[in-house]
Amino acid sequence: MSAAKALGGPLRTARSIAADVREGRALAADVVEQHLATIGEHDEQVHAFNLVMADQAREAALAIDRRVVAGEDPGPLAGVAVALKDNMCTRGVPTTCSSRVLEGWRPPYDATVVERLAAAGAIVIGKTNLDEFAMGSSTENSAFGPTRNPHDLSRVPGGSSGGSAAAVAAGFAPLALGSDTGGSIRQPAALCGVVGAKPTYGAVSRYGLVAFASSLDQIGPFATTVDDAALLLEAIAGPDPRDSTSIPEPFARLTEHLDRGVEGLRVGLITELTETEGIEVEVSERVREAAAALEKAGAHVEEVSVPSVIYGLTAYYLINPAEASSNLARYDGVRYGLRVDASTTGEMYDHTRTAGLGPEVKRRIMLGTYALSAGYYDAFYGKAQRVRTLILRDFATAYERFDALLSPTSPSVAFPIGAKTADPLTMYLNDVCTIPSNLTGHPAVSVPFGVGAGDLPVGVQVMAPAMGEATAFRVAAAVEAAAPVGNPS
């Protein structure tokens, strides 16, 4: 039995909870009480949550139960608790981004995803910890202290959506939402032994998601099963007039394709991301086993080279800070959050930002300001955008021959707290396998597949072309079905 299971999981699936609540076999109020009890017992150790919304969750559960009694259908996620990354706006409820600079801020509106969760009958149970403004790969950059991995409390849960991943792994909620700018859903999902997906850029509205790097950010689901992740994604995806980057076409149906198998599908194993230096040998082995399992299930599997992915990390760590430096200019003490008073507005800006922002956020803002500054723009930001085109072209070529691509999600299993905090570049290397999908805007799913060093979970990443979620989830379901017995989720 894994440590995560010892903490409270494994949970019943969201699908089975919703079915019981809709049919009147279970009360949402009881479901919520069980989650709150588990959280109360174990979250002091894990610290998945910045805020547990006990009163609001109880009230929402009672409303769901009343609707069932009245003969109404509350929706496909009726009575299902969802943990929400604390960079998504909740009306009247503190939204901190795990930063001191947003202290005291209560958003005057709900994010679109929060509205859609409510419309589907889901219940937001709390706001989860993250690396400050989602900048990090370990959840150690939080102003409120780190989240711990439920499988081994001395290790990180990954990041930046570490609180959401840990909440699902620990059994605090069957579902969670995270945001993924360079792997911030998939990498913590891999490290915590749960399913995590980054949808196509534009598939899920970013209205009410606090902006980090706008051409890369995307909201996506965490769950214990591929089916549950698909169920949650279906509930939140689709066009939104309040997000101008939202894709206008209706989103694909996912859950009805999951059991179609992979017979005849062409799956490519990306050489550069599987055999690269720095990828743990057990991680590469699990990915190769997953590829072999897909072949056994009828897929045609081959290795494929995507040469420019080796430049992904460089392009990403120029584009991401550049966009972040612009987006985070708004934290100036004028309209919301922290203000450190001074005798002039200019000094007030300086003092507020200096006191309110943490070291990683300052690092990225400075890096981005530098990459965008006169004389360096063409050498850094301009070049990175051209490299981004090369990567898009290479993936387009690969998808002429393949329906889906495979790689590790994270180069390593969960690492000890503090192991990588001294050197930012070492921390950035965690994102090497996940970054390409953000640069291309393509969907990618991380599925638990056995364990690596220290019996810690390993994640396999399934990628597909833009709007190819139906294929990605179908392959992910086949990987899940073939996962070794004792899979840590």
Report 51-80 residues binding another protein (CB under 8 A): none
Report 399-428 residues binding another protein (CB under 8 A): 423-425, 428
The piece of 61-69, 229-237, 266-274, 346-354 that touches another protein (CB under 8 A) is 346-354
98 is catalytic: no
- Candidate list 292, 307, 389, 486; residue touching another protein; CB under 8 A: 389
In order, the DSSP letters of 423-448 are: -HHHHHGGGTTTHHHHHHT--EEEEE
> Nearest-CA neighbor of 230 among 79, 85, 438, 15?
15
- Candidate list 100, 266, 288, 363; residue touching another protein; CB under 8 A: 363
Report 237-296 residues binding another protein (CB under 8 A): 241, 244-248
The one catalytic residue among 161, 184, 407, 489 = 184
The one catalytic residue among 98, 137, 142, 160 = 160
> Please, which residues have CB within 8 angstroms of residue 413's CB and are 6 or more apart in sequence?
191, 280, 282, 283, 451, 452, 453, 454, 456, 457, 458
Neighbours of 71 (CB within 10 A): 7
Say which amino acid occupies 306.
V
Report 431-450 residues binding another protein (CB under 8 A): 439-442
Distance between CA atoms of residues 136 and 184, nearest Å:
8
Distance between CA atoms of residues 57 and 51, nearest Å:
12
- Candidate list 257, 382, 419, 455; residue touching another protein; CB under 8 A: 382
Closest separation in Å from C-beta 428 to another protein: 7
- Candidate list 219, 299, 315, 432; residue touching another protein; CB under 8 A: 315
Write down how long the chain is: 489
Report 181-200 residues binding another protein (CB under 8 A): 200
Neighbours of 378 (CB within 10 A): 9
5 is catalytic: no
Distance between CA atoms of residues 488 and 3, nearest Å:
9
Report 80-139 residues binding another protein (CB under 8 A): 104-109
DSSP β-bridge partners for residue 299: none
Tell me if 374 contacts another protein by CB under 8 A.
Answer: no
Total binding residues toward another protein, as defined by CB under 8 A: 76
Nearer to another protein (CB atom), residue 302 or residue 347: 347
- Candidate list 52, 313, 405, 435; residue touching another protein; CB under 8 A: 313
Active site residues: 85, 160, 184
